Amino acid sequence: MQCAGINHKPQQMKALKIIGIILLVLFGLFLLVPAFLPSEITTRGEIYINAPASAVFNQVNSMRKWAEWSPFERADTTMNLIYRGAEQGEGSEMFWTNHRNDSGVQVIIESIPYSFLKMELNFFRGGKAYSTWTFDDNDSTHVVWKVFMPELGYPLGRLMGLIMPAMMKPMHTNGLNNLKKLVEANPAEAKVVDMPAMHVLVVKDSADMNGIGNILGKCYGEILATAMANNIEITGAPFCIYYSWDETKLFVMEPGIPVSQPLATKPNQRVQYRLIPPGKYALAVHYGPYDKSSLTHLRVQDYLNVNNIHTNGYPWEVYVTDPESTPDTNQWMTEIRYPVK
């Protein structure tokens, strides 16, 4: 007896039909579900920072300062950053590219010292987003950072909106924690103080960026030798007045040390005696390495601009901490002083 062959074709067709129906349903859901999802989304992070609102605000109010704490640069080490526009405040702009050929620009579009910031993020192919910062100053500063993404594309953009809060949460957390650590280590709140008259011995000199330390050491040595030769007491920390500050040229500066009295003899050609008259100075304290003091200078300048205070001379750096007795650079204390009218 001969067995008839089994025909599998109807079964295969049935399976393909089922798969087709499943794919069609999934595709329908792919198109249907996003229609009920929001077309915009806001993510949020917050933190309390033990520093004045002005210190926190100034760190966020300049795109050039973001590299010190921003989570985005740390998450993508291939980012190439270009800074454009204003140094700080409205118009301060950061353009970036990376190894994936992604690019974008972030620009400050609203700046209200020391309470509010708004920024526009243009991802070009990825559309636009906006971020806002609020700074509520009380015993500590309550910082709220929001990122708002409007007009999420249909359907992929809206589906991405489902996972965006989870993606942005570590960015908010890491960025705000970095900002807290940075600002609390160096709050540098400026204030105007009255300074008494001072007898000082000074040496005027110049150096390039890399040679400042050596020149300062040489000048202070000459001043100390002159003071010892004339039995004059040292009464304060060494300082330096900077007459020009241009990293592409020589720095013109005048290192000095306060002393108890004028020189009784005529000073040599290098070491000179000066009487610094009493006056008002905008002052902020910098903690950390000397090469990071430019941030504190910027904060003093911000303070002067916001309060419409005009300078009356050149900036000072007073080196309160002796580096030889305190090798940890993070503990070095430097007073930044600007004479004001």
**Residue 276, CB-side half-sphere exposure with 13 Å CA sphere:** 24
Contact 166, 43 (CB under 8 A): no
Domain boundaries, the chain: 37-185, 191-340
The partner residues of 340 in beta bridges, in order of sequence, read: 280, 311
Instruction: Give the separation between CA 63 and CA 295, rounded to whole angstroms.
Output: 13
User: So what's the pLDDT on residue 34?
Assistant: 46
At 174, give phi and psi (nearest 5°). -65, -45
Per DSSP, which regions of the chain are E strands?
A: 41-49, 80-85, 92-97, 103-112, 116-122, 128-137, 141-149, 191-195, 198-202, 205-207, 239-242, 251-259, 272-276, 279-287, 316-319, 333-340
| Structure token digits, residue 253 | 């500066």
Q: What is the mean pLDDT of residues 219-224?
A: 96
User: So what's the pLDDT on residue 1?
Assistant: 46
Per DSSP, which regions of 232-278 are E strands?
A: 239-242, 251-259, 272-276
pLDDT of 231-267, one tens digit each?
Answer: 999 999 999 999 987 777 889 999 999 999 998 777 6
Name the residue with tokens 């000095």.
Answer: 256
pLDDT of 269-320, one tens digit each?
Answer: 799 999 999 999 999 988 778 887 887 888 788 888 878 899 999 999 999 9
Q: How far is CA 98 from CA 23, 77, 95, 242, 277, in A?
A: 37, 8, 11, 38, 54
User: Around Cβ 155, how many Cβ atoms within 10 Å?
Assistant: 15
pLDDT of 126-155, one tens digit each?
Answer: 678 899 999 998 778 999 999 887 766 555
Q: What is the mean pLDDT of residues 38-59?
A: 83
Burial-class residue 168 by CB neighbours within 10 Å (0-12, 13-18, 19+): buried
Higher pLDDT, 273 or 103: 273
Instruction: Give the separation between CA 128 and CA 335, rounded to whole angstroms.
Output: 42
Q: Does 3.40.630.40 match the CATH number of domain 37-185?
A: no
pLDDT at 218 over 90: yes
CB within 8 Å of 36: residues ≥ 6 apart = none
Q: What is the DSSP letter of 3?
A: P
Q: In CATH, what class is 191-340?
A: alpha beta
Average pLDDT, the chain: 83
Look up the pTM and report it.
0.53
User: Around Cβ 341, how many Cβ atoms within 10 Å?
Assistant: 9
